[in-house]
Amino acid sequence: MKRICQALLAAILLAVASAAYLAYDRAMAPFSSPSLTDYPIQGIDISHHQGAIDWNALATQPNVRFAIMKATEGGDHRDTRFAENWQAAKDAGIVRGAYHFFTFCRPGREQAQNVLATVPLEQGTLPLAIDLEFTGNCGKVPTREELSAELQAFFDELNGAYPGKPIFYVDQPFFDQYLKGHEEMFPAHHLWLRSIAEEPSAGDCSIWSIWQFADTGSLAGIQGPVDLNALCPDEPDLSGLFEAAAQTSR
């Protein structure tokens, strides 16, 4: 009986060790960036942290079809390189988008006024993106009702100045806490989901439109790391911008 128990214990320990090894192996397996075959429209998001950018060098790379750049934050901050990047990306033939970092400690109406004073109204650009996250924000944690009210005030003040449904940038925890199951409380929007090294929702474009898949990308034209993104291949609305841009460049 003693030998049987020892053999059984050894078998259990071996099974546990094998399971732990497999879990470790999966965790350490290298992440392969989404291919251009599966995700043909890819791009970057940037701010002043990327410094001076060689936009012509970026434009030669097939995985830089669009650039979403920081324009504003809160009620008065403006990214120091936004105006330069906005014009240079256009000159290089890259589809552009602007994003606003939404702070939870300033009224939505004031933040909208900052956007209106900073982001030009131009044709052929991505809809305005709103960065909703706790990282880098103030210490306030709004209730769902408070966030909904301030976002509504923000868009009421914009009064449709920027065409198309806005883009909400969130990570999975933020989405789960505020948006999931409560979409009716917020303006209709495209979802830009941060999911580093893991494909979100198996490519379900009914949930997300843009996937931020890396934050340590390396590209010619940018010194240092940059965020990398992919447009959902079945995205019905935003893909039209790239078809128009391709026809213009011919």
| Domain extents in the chain | 1-30, 33-249
Distance in Å from the first CA to the final CA of the chain: 81
Structure token digits, residue 217? 């990308």
- What size, in residues, is the chain? 250
Residue 17 has pLDDT above 50, yes or no: no
Residue 1 has pLDDT above 60, yes or no: no
CATH 3.20.20.80 corresponds to the domain 33-249: yes
Structure token digits, residue 240? 């039209």
- pLDDT tens figures, 165-200: 999 999 999 999 999 999 999 999 999 999 998 888
Q: Which residue has the higher pLDDT, 186 or 16?
A: 186
- pLDDT tens figures, 59-87: 999 999 999 999 999 999 999 999 999 99
Average pLDDT rounded to a whole number, residues 9-22: 36
- pLDDT tens figures, 193-238: 999 988 886 556 778 999 999 999 999 999 999 999 999 988 888 9
Q: Which helix (H) or strand (E) holds 195?
A: none
At 197 the pLDDT is 80
Average pLDDT rounded to a whole number, residues 120-126: 94
Nearest by Cα to 50 from 63, 36, 64, 69: 69
Structure token digits, residue 116? 């209106």
Q: For residues 245 and 93, give the distance between their C-alpha atoms in angstroms, rounded to a whole number.
A: 8
- pLDDT tens figures, 31-57: 788 999 999 999 999 999 999 999 999
Q: For residues 136 and 149, give the distance between their C-alpha atoms in angstroms, rounded to a whole number.
A: 21
Nearest by Cα to 150 from 190, 181, 119, 105: 105
Q: Are 78 and 85 in contact (CB under 8 A)?
A: no
Q: For residues 203 and 196, give the distance between their C-alpha atoms in angstroms, rounded to a whole number.
A: 14
Residue 2 has pLDDT above 90, yes or no: no
At 201 the pLDDT is 64
Residues 6+ apart with CB under 8 A from 173: none
Percentage with pLDDT > 90 across the chain: 74
Residue type, 18: S
At 122 the pLDDT is 94
**pTM for this one?**
0.85
Q: Report the chain's C-alpha Rg in angstroms.
A: 22
Structure token digits, residue 207? 């949930």
DSSP label at residue 212: E
